Each structure stands twice: as C-alpha cells, then as structure tokens.
Structure 1
Amino acid sequence: MPLDVFCLFFGFNPIFRTNRILKYTSFFEFNHRLESLMDKAYTYRVLRTTGYLLFALHLNACLYYWASDQEGIGTTKWVYNGEGNMYLRCYYFAVRSLITIGGLPEPQTLFEIVFQLLNFFLGVFVFSSAIGQMLDVIGAATAARNSFRVCVDRTVAYMNTYSIPKSVQSRVRTWYEYTWDSQRMLDESELLKTLPHAMRSALALDMNLSILSNVELFKGCDTQMLCDMLLRLKSTIYLPGDFICKEGEIGKEMYVVKQGEVQVLGGTDGAQVLATLKAGTVFGEIRYQKDTP
C-alpha cells in the first residue's frame, strides 16, 4: 500500500515506509533467479556477502549516531563530537568497533558501557558468520577443482610407488589436464546419476541425439531406441597417439566419434593410414547378416 502519500499531509516520516519491509521476499527471489542464470554464481555470492557486511556496518553506524544523540553530541569522549562528516566518522567507529580493532575512546556512562558491550558481542557474531559464509562460498566454488587435484595426486603417488616410467606418467598427467579443461569433470556419468530418469533422457537427447541421427548405422531407428542407447553411452577421451583397439583383440565395445579424428593404421609395418574416421563415425560394431536361401 502506498503509505508514502501520508507524507503530503503529515510531512516526511520514515514510519510511513515500514510496510516496504514486507517485500523482503522479493530480494531472495531475485538472488535465486540471478544465481540460476549465472555461469559462475559464486562470484555474485561473494559480492552479496560483502554487501551484507557493509550493510551491517551501516546499521551499526546509524546506531552509534543515535546513541551519541541520546547522550548529547560532544558531551563525552566516547560519543560523536559533531566535527567532520558525521556519516564517515560514525562509519569509521562502527568498523573499528565491530572488528574489535581497539584504540577506541573508553565509554564513560552506564549507557555507553552497555552499548559498547553489545557492540562487541554483535561484532563477534557478525564477522564470524560473514567469514564462515565466505569460506563456504569459496569452498563450494573450488570443490570440483580440489576433488580433481586430489585424484591427480593419488594417481601420481600410485605411479611413483610402482616406479612407472616418466613418459607414461607424463601422458597420464596430460590426460587429466585435457579432460579437466574440456569438460571440467572427470566422469560426467556420475553427475547424471543423481538426476531423475526423465531429466537424464532430456539431457542425453540435447547433447548427443544429433550425432547419432547422422550415423548411417542408426538412421531410421526409433527415437525411443536412440534415447535408451544414449543413456548407456559413456564419454571417453583419448589423447593423440593412444591406441583405442588393436587387431586381434576381442571387440566388446562400439565407439562413436563425437569430436576429433581417429586413424585406422595397417600395412606391413602397422604405420600406414588406411582411413581417417571423423565426427559421427561408428567403429568397433559387429554386424550380423542373415543368410538367404
């Protein structure tokens, strides 16, 4: 309700704007929607936590000026003396008081002592909460990276324990770095397991249906069949020079090239490039042909 219109008849009074406090839910709804749209929501969370801290200092500065006005401006060494910019002076007092830096004038009256004690207690809770929330935000933002680093360190320790050749260790590290740079996770299937079946199907269709639809082997297949197949696919990354399969091995898997190229080597020395498979190509499949009489 626009209670501000009462200011036209009774003059400006902040009491007429108190009903705006009921709109606090809009602020949290705005935060929720904004975070859902941002790629790096933790950046906004850090800024929001900093805003909370600055606003708490602002409220404390206002309370200090109110306390100084109650005691009388400039009546004691503890209250605001009325010199300089009142807001900056009070804000400076609030910062030093809540952070408990020290060096503040000693309170003289009982009212000043009680106010300063409450100020110190409030500062302990406010800054401990702010620091804890900041640590949670930073920890959540770097959780995936830390988990990746732990996995790499364990693998490196394992290879050092068994004296794996340096060339192999270098390729393992390169695979880890390339996998992280390309998809920011080591196993995307573990992430999708937490989603309901309908959402996993929708994500699989959006990400990979266009690839399977262009594969000659799957043309004309039912959409539901392709969807079921997509849910069973696993993402695998190979580095240049890696052998995916070799002649004579028992084929148990079918591969679909999503990105990059795969060379088929043969010849007497096994170094001749017989074919180059590009994105959308299928290999490793076993085809059955029914004999006709």
Structure 2
Amino acid sequence: RFYWDLIMLLLMVGNLIILPVGITFFKDENTPPWIVFNVLSDTFFLADLVLNFRTGIVVEDNTEIILDPHTIKMKYLKTWFLVDFISSIPVDYIFLIVDLETQVDSDVYKTARALRIVRFTKILSLLRLLRLSRLIRYIHQWEEIFHMTYDLASAVVRIFNLIGMMLLLCHWDGCLQFLVPMLQDFPRDSWVSRSHMVNDSWGKQYSHALFKAMSHMLCIGYGQQTPQGMTDVWLTMLSMIVGATCYAMFIGHATALIQSLDSSRRQYQEKYKQVEQYMSFHKLPGDTRQRIHEYYEHRYQGKMFDEENILGELSEPLKEEIINFNCRSLVANMPLFANADPNFVTAMLTKLRFEVFQPGDFIIREGTVGKKMYFIQHGVVSILTKGNKETKLSDGSYFGEICLLTRGRRTASVRADTYCRLYSL
C-alpha cells in the first residue's frame, strides 16, 4: 500500500501541474502523448477508487483501525466518493471511442477540456491529504534513521509544503490568466492580443502568463501591461486577493514555524532576558553578573525545559525509563550502582536532583548539618579537612553519605575545582 500511495501522490502532482497546461495552451488534445497520459491517469484513479473501498479507516484518536468492509463502504460513500468518482470519470476513453466511430467537432473537445477541470477537485479529497500526512510520517522515519531530529524533519516538510503550495497557486493563476481570454477567442482588449502572443509558442505564452500572475499575486505590479478589458480587470483583482491572502498565510505559517522550531532555546532566551533585567535592576557588580551568565550557560546549555512538569505527566514506567536513560553515564561510572539491584538503582535515580557548581564553589562546608549526599557525574572536587592533605574526587565518585545517615555535622569541606555536574540525594 505504501508504494501505491507513493505512485498516486506522484501522479496527483503530475496531474495538478500538467492538466492546466494542456487545457489552456494546447488546442489539439487528441495527440498520442496526451491520450496516453490521460488514459493512464484515468486507469490509476479508477483503480484507486476501487481500493478505497478496501482500505481501513483510522479512528480520530488513532487508537483503532476499522477494517469492516461494510463500515468502510458506507463511510466512503458518505464522504469523498462522489468527488472522487466525478474526477475519475474516464473522459479520454469515452471521447477516444467516439472519435474512432465518428468525427467529433471542436466544440465537443472544448467540452472535454471543461470537464477535465473537475479533476482539480482531487485536491480537496481528504484521503489525498491523509496520504500527504502519511508521506510526512514516512519522511520522519527516514530522518530518524539518519539521526536527525523530529523538529528538523517536520520543519523541512512544512517549509516545502508552503513553498510548493505557493508555486502551485501561481501556476494555476498563470494558466487562468491565459485560459479566460482563450475561451473568449482573445478579445482585442485582452492582454494576449495586445501583446501579440495569440499565435506564439505555448512556452512563451505560459512564461508571460506566469509572470503576469506572479506580479499580481506578489502585489508588485500588473505585469507588462495594465489591464484594460473588464475581464482582465476582474482577473487582476482576483489574483491580487488570492496572492495577498496566500502571502499573509505564508508569513503567518513561516513565523509560527520559526518560533516553534526550537521552543526550548527561545524559552531559555526569554528567561535569561529576565535575569539580565534583574541584575540590572539590582545593580549587581560585573564579576557577579559574569558568574551568573556562566552558571546559566553550563546549567541549561542554551535550552530550558520544565523537566519536572514533563516527567510528572508521564506514567511511572515511562518516567523511570527516561530517568534511567538520562543517568546511564552516572550508573556506568559508579561502582555503587554498577553491581546493585536494578530496582534499587531505579528507586535511587528517581530521588536524585541535578545540580551544577562553578569552580571555587563550596558544595559542603565543614561544621554544617549534613542533609544531602552527592554523586559526581562530571567534574573534579577537592575534599578539604583541617590538618590533612587535599583529596581529589572525579567522575563516578560520591561524598557526604556518612552525615546523611547519621544526621551529624560535616567533618570536611568540599570545593568544586571545575564546573561540576552533580546529582544530590
């Protein structure tokens, strides 16, 4: 089903691009390439119409897939079947058979051209939109294989969707700019007649029509000539309205996308602005401000999460799994945890609190009541006792456990020699 959906997606894009061009710029649609393309398209769309009656339906909360044939059939008949059926009628089969039997005048082919526009209702099909969402999920899985984050993959897909939709609307509008004068047999006041392009090649006609449409939609002018005929005036106004609306939507979506792309970094920046205002308001000295800045840099590393709230919303098994993963380096480097019972390790890790200390900070002072013990994830500390030589502790070590158990006073001071990332219990 994945490969079929991918084929239908590519075929859909091809139809949305090629059909307007064929309808607008090619008078003779009875050429072999055009017939082959439309016959193949009709065949695939009719086959897809039949497959839709055999495709499961995902419930809105994504907890269940309905596979009952009768339910699927009734659901499809009540939703997009009519639109899909009308847009999948094999017009080319019908007119090809009629043409083989009798000679059909050009008016009939104009009617076929008009009917072909119905194919554009495919874009409204919810099933097609679901296929686009499936493609995004597939791309997300591929991005995970290459160790890319979800935010980056999602952002790339959304950006390409916005740009693609803008280009597609410009393409449609360009075809419309030429189609309307063509249906009126190119009046003298139309832009095509005034530009003397009635008999030019379709490439030149399309290029000028697309330039005219993009000038309207981007609100940068009228193109090469100002509209004179009533039809051109209304087409210009329509293009401007659609273009201005799409441009506003594009800016809004792009702004929201940029803001949500790295919300944790934005949250950190907003928090640090408050800290800067606090330091300025209290007129803190420069060296203190520098230490505060360095503390935030090492503590949050440019990103800020409400970890307590995030973990509090999860189930206990999932919360324990995340904590074990986040503390895996601590467990691996600490002999106390390496050979301990896994349930004991998990219970200990859930009680730990992450802390950061700067060089020169006294983590423990001699003579104070011991209420915590510390595990060193990264960094070097010095044990300072009166009359004894300094003792160094580094990654995987722990200290302060005796006073935690006895509730006695500290017998030594502990000073951070480097930036230390500790867990306290």
> TM-score w.r.t. structure 2 length?
0.57
Structure 1 residue 135 corresponds to structure 2 residue 255? yes
What CA distance in whole angstroms lies between the structure 2 residues aligned with 1:62 and 1:212? 65
Counterpart in 2 of 1:90? 209
Q: 2:167 aligns with which of 49, 54, 59?
A: 54
SS in 1 for 2:265: helix
1:167 deviation in Å?
A: 1.3
Structure 1 residues not aligned, in runs of 5+: none
Structure 2 residues not aligned, in runs of 5+: 12-30, 49-121, 407-425
Specify the code of the residue in structure 2 equivalent to 1:130. Answer: F
1:96 deviation in Å?
A: 0.9
Specify the code of the residue in structure 2 equivalent to 1:31. Answer: I
Structure 1 residue 156 corresponds to structure 2 residue 276? yes
Structure 1 residues 131-152: Cα deviation after superposition (integer angstroms, max 9, x where no partner): 1100100111243333212222
Count of residues in Structure 1 that have an aligned counterpart in Structure 2 = 283
Structure 1 residues 236 and 86, CA, compared in 2 at 3 Å: closer, same or farther?
farther
What CA distance in whole angstroms lies between the structure 1 residues aligned with 2:377 and 2:215? 59
What CA distance in whole angstroms lies between the structure 2 residues aligned with 1:199 and 1:33? 25
Provide the alpha-carbon RMSD of the alignment: 3.4
Specify the code of the residue in structure 1 equivalent to 2:258. Answer: I
| 1:1-293 to 2 correspondences below 5 Å | 11-12=35-36, 14=38, 17=41, 19=45, 23-35=128-140, 37=144, 38-39=148-149, 40-41=152-153, 43-44=155-156, 45-72=158-185, 75-79=188-192, 81=195, 82=197, 85-104=204-223, 105-181=225-301, 184-185=303-304, 188-212=307-331, 214-267=333-386, 274-286=390-402
Structure 1 residues 157-198: Cα deviation after superposition (integer angstroms, max 9, x where no partner): 2233333232111100111123343x7226544443343333
What CA distance in whole angstroms lies between the structure 2 residues aligned with 1:56 and 1:73? 23
What CA distance in whole angstroms lies between the structure 1 residues aligned with 2:384 and 2:139? 51
Q: Which of 105-114 and 142-151 deviates more?
A: 105-114
SS in 1 for 2:355: coil
> TM-score w.r.t. structure 1 length?
0.79
Contact map agreement 2:376 2:395 (CA 8 A) in 1: yes
What CA distance in whole angstroms lies between the structure 2 residues aligned with 1:62 and 1:256? 69
Structure 1 residues 91-141: Cα deviation after superposition (integer angstroms, max 9, x where no partner): 211211112222343434443333333222212221111111001001112
Identical-pair percentage: 22
What CA distance in whole angstroms lies between the structure 2 residues aligned with 1:35 and 1:254? 43
